[in-house]
Chains A and B, each alone.
Chain A
Amino acid sequence: MIRRDPIGNRSEDARIIQLRLLIAVSAVVVLVVILLGRFFILQVAHHDRYRTLSMDNRIDLRPLPPVRGMILDRNGTVLAENHAVYELTVIPEKIGDLGRTLREIGELVDLSQRDVARFRKRLKQRPVFEPHVLKSRLSDEEAARFSVHQYRFPGVTLSASLRRVYPYGPLTAHVVGYVGRISEQDTRKIDPVAYRGTLHMGKIGLELSYENELLGEAGLEQVETDAHGRVVRTINRNPSRAGYNLHLTLDSQLQKVAEEALGEYRGSVVVLEPSTGDVLAFVSTPNYDPNLFVNGIDPESYRQLRDSPDKPLINRAIYGRYAPGSTIKPILAFAALDQNLDPLKKTYCPGWFTLPDSDRRFRCWRRKGHGYVDLHDAIEQSCDVYFYQLAHTLGINVVADYLGRFGVGQVTGIDLLSEPSGLLPTPLWKRQARQQAWYPGETIITGIGQGFLLVTPLQLAVATAVLANRGRLVRPRLLRGIENPRTGVMARPAEKRSKSIRAADSPDFEMIVEDMVAVLHGSRGTARASGRNSPYRMAGKTGTAQVIGIPPGSEHDPAEVPEKLRDHALFIAFAPAENPQIALAIIVENAGSGSRTAAPIARKIMDYYFIERLRRAALSGRSRVFG
């Protein structure tokens, strides 16, 4: 490859290249004209459109979350409120040496291993220009200490936010419930507009039932933001409306007394005001601290609560289903009177009962028997044989009909969501649910509240209120009023018409009530120990419900039975007998006999209500006494 005649071709080469260079120059000119044309179109012809778009880019609407309404008891005691809490957030992008910064912050603020680990984990998930929570609950002292040294930490912000707090914690956990972080699942159910900027929502209890009232309305704020959504300045704002405050029928003092009276037992106490259905106390033990759930409970604590054999997370007052035992005997007695059976007709109790043509013995709790008893004696002494005979005489359908009218096994309509019904067994139910025939023996044991029959403590309290009301069935309620925090105006919930059961106000009730008074004040009353020397007249009925069926005739010593298999103790009562102000139902799990364990609890509650409470009110000079 030798070049030919370099000189001769050089001018020819030059001509060729120069020609092409001229073409290139024209190309440059054309392209530059196109380019300038393009910029003219963008910057002059379409300027307005792009300027609008640029403004839209900068202006952002930010939600202003509302302050959640408070929950107060009937005396104005706060049961749920919002506390300002200090939160330390870090924008990692603005920090040079993260490790050193964390160490220095650790000298001012108590940073746990868990805080740091959680922070580092979130750091990997979210962009570095976003604020990350380092520590979410600083004490006032820590907050003060940090703010003094704030200048040393650009990129670290101390911010105050509101956190839901339940001052009484476990005491009101089962009633008030708790709020928790809105989960992925929740977001599908809720209105995204209403929850703009809100991180928490009611999860259970009244916090859930009255979520709409408590929530309030989100406001909006017009802000200038950058591409990452960081707020540069505020342009306009439309404030949020705080949620309504809930005023409950609950008396937290009474609640406390009831809980303390229940002591270490698992169980439930429901106290109602029979005339209105106001729930004065609503206790379920064991309980838990709802404050743990607000910002997410740690898995270990949750596992402990969930797996505990005592089931502290379950609200026994509405979800616990128990055999009512002898507490339903007054209802059966009313059925007998209402069916025009003779209350004075005596039944012989030898200590057991057998059906005709059968030798199976249904035992009375009193092994040696009560001898001849009439209706009055049978209630006072809780004679099982009498009621075996009564149930047999009435038949299961009549028994179930009367129990149902008193609300046994029925949804009470309390203002808590997803209230279950109990179980009111009938032959029809058994055929449908179990594809089995009804046996006569099952009618017999229903007469003493055993067998398939299951009630919740709340239902039992409602049934007690029906007795106290002489036949009027009320709907229990926890809400007394909804207060608009801005105007202070209290809206009362619409009065639910109370149903009267058939033959309400019949003189039969007075007779039953007197029989129940005898339980506490009669010489042979099963709960006479608890009724002794009370300045008010109390009416009640004890109950002892078997957890396992004890084979007839077999001997068993209560002390030898494992704790979980021991009988449940029950007691229902209202007072004063002639003009009842409170009605209550008590169920104590595995506590043995109702008269020994449950009735004294009722006495403590009544004593507080009728003596101690009034004394305190008088001392504090409060003119208004509720209830």
Chain B
Amino acid sequence: MKGCEGQPFPEGRVFSGRRVHIDGPLVLGVLALSFFGLMVIYSASGESWQVMWRQSARLVLSVVVMLAVAQIPPGLLRRLSPHFFLAGILILTLVLIAGYVGKGAQRWLDLGVVRFQPSELMKLGVPMAVAWLLTRRSLPPRFLDVLLAIVVIVLPAVLVVVQPDLGTAIMLMISGLLVLFLSGARWQHLLMLTAVALAAAPYLWSRLHEYQQERILTMFDPWSDPLGSGYHSIQSMIAIGSAGLAGKGWLSGSQSHLEFIPERSTDFVFAVFAEEFGLIGVIALVTLYVFLVGRCLVMAYHVREAFSRLLIGGLAMTFFFYFFVNTAMVSGLLPVVGVPLPLVSYGGTSMVTLMAAFGIMMGAYTRRHLMF
């Protein structure tokens, strides 16, 4: 069932014929954003050089991963997609069974040398698998393929949500659904799925952990419980609102430096940024994100092969949604679901995954003229 598209252009030619597969604007944008991120992390961590060094090291590692992934030809990537996805499912199941309990949640798999979050793999695995599934035939996908895609989307999300990691589960579903949407799935199919999801909502709600339910409820009125589940939202909004147009200045945010903002290096890092740099800084940072997303969407637009196009578009939109969900959560538009700010938040595997995604996009884009 493997396609024959790889044959006319052996990979050796690809390598020898072109430069390393890098997209200048994208890399520049990523580096600029990472630099911003380091600045904010330095302030948010209470000016800790230890945190800075760790984040820098992680950044370097991520960039290396990005460049390495960019060298993988899209054809190979596509053939690997289903295996990658199945392997991810297997590991997620393993985590559930023998999972290492960290932070009260079974998210980490301890391999002795490194601990990593298998759900991170799925951030790539789900869009890859959906894109692979839907591009086996011509688009738009048939209803049966849409249903199959839904299974591919929901199964890992279920495995992640029981860990329990609601934020990641939602983002996994969004990334898969975005690919499904970009593939041109018929509106009536999408509407039907929405109807089914709405019908299932009460049941799913009852299966959520109490703290997750509370978070969603307090979204509508965080002030109802200012010291409980509304605390995060409120302190974050105070930080942002008190900044004004120009902000309180770098390293001078009282909300963050006096430790009113929780998780200020990770999920709420944007609040620290907004407090210190004000609306002007927010606009600048949003512009940078929009530029990156825009660049990726342009890349998706120009790529000729459907799998790569779907994958790039899906990953780019996922990237945007990470950004949007995080900033919306921090500014009190969305409930606190625990989604990091891409490229800026302090933390382990998510940055590597993200850079790998950029690598995939660049690898596909720089090979856009190659026909399969």
Which of B1, B5, B183 is within 8 Å of A1, CB to CB? B1
Scan residues 196-235 of chain A and give those whose CB is less than 8 A from a CB of chain B: 224-228, 232
B347 within 8 A of A: no
B313 within 8 A of A: yes
0/1 string, A383-422, CB within 8 A of B gives 1: 0000000000000000000000000000000000000000
0/1 string, B217-250, CB within 8 A of A gives 1: 0000000000000000001011111111100000
Known: A17-B184, A40-B279. Contact between A35 and B258, CB under 8 A? Answer: no
Scan residues 273-290 of chain B and give those whose CB is less than 8 A from a CB of chain A: 274, 278-279, 282-283, 286, 290
Assembly CA distance A225 to B257 (angstroms): 11
Scan residues 146-189 of chain B and give those whose CB is less than 8 A from a CB of chain A: 178, 181-184
Assembly CA distance A44 to B240 (angstroms): 10
Assembly CA distance A25 to B178 (angstroms): 12
Nearest B residue (CB) for A27: B317
B324–A35 touching, CB < 8 Å = yes
A429 within 8 A of B: no
B182 surroundings in chain A (CB, below 8 A): 17, 20-21, 24
A117 within 8 A of B: no
B129 within 8 A of A: no
Scan residues 281-311 of chain B and give those whose CB is less than 8 A from a CB of chain A: 282-283, 286, 290, 293-294, 297, 300-301, 304-306, 309-310
Scan residues 16-56 of chain A and give those whose CB is less than 8 A from a CB of chain B: 16-21, 23-25, 28, 31-32, 34-36, 38-40, 42-44, 46-47, 49-51, 53-54
Which of A18, A25, A32, A51 is within 8 Å of B241, CB to CB? A51
B239–A38 touching, CB < 8 Å = no
For the complex, would chain A's binding face be called helix, strand, loop or mixed by DSSP majority? helix
Known: A54-B242, A57-B258. Contact between A42 and B331, CB under 8 A? Answer: yes
A6 surroundings in chain B (CB, below 8 A): 5
A126 within 8 A of B: no
Nearest-CB distance from B17 to chain A (Å)? Answer: 22
B138 within 8 A of A: yes
A9 within 8 A of B: yes
B55 surroundings in chain A (CB, below 8 A): none
B317 surroundings in chain A (CB, below 8 A): 24, 28
A28–B320 touching, CB < 8 Å = yes
B192 within 8 A of A: no
Assembly CA distance A38 to B290 (angstroms): 16
A58 surroundings in chain B (CB, below 8 A): 254, 258
B184–A16 touching, CB < 8 Å = yes
0/1 string, A235-250, CB within 8 A of B gives 1: 0000000000000000
B331–A14 touching, CB < 8 Å = no
Nearest B residue (CB) for A2: B1
Nearest-CB distance from B334 to chain A (Å)? Answer: 10
Nearest-CB distance from A17 to chain B (Å)? Answer: 5
A114 within 8 A of B: no
A10 within 8 A of B: yes
B138 surroundings in chain A (CB, below 8 A): 3-5, 9, 12-13
Nearest-CB distance from A600 to chain B (Å)? Answer: 69
B140 within 8 A of A: yes
A42–B3 touching, CB < 8 Å = no
CB-defined A-B contacts under 8 Å, sample of 18 = A16-B139, A24-B182, A25-B297, A31-B324, A35-B286, A36-B283, A38-B328, A39-B282, A40-B279, A42-B240, A42-B241, A47-B241, A51-B244, A54-B254, A58-B254, A227-B235, A227-B258, A232-B258
**Additional 8 contacts, C-beta under 8 A, given A17-B309, A35-B324, A38-B331:** A4-B137, A21-B301, A28-B294, A38-B332, A43-B244, A43-B279, A54-B238, A226-B257
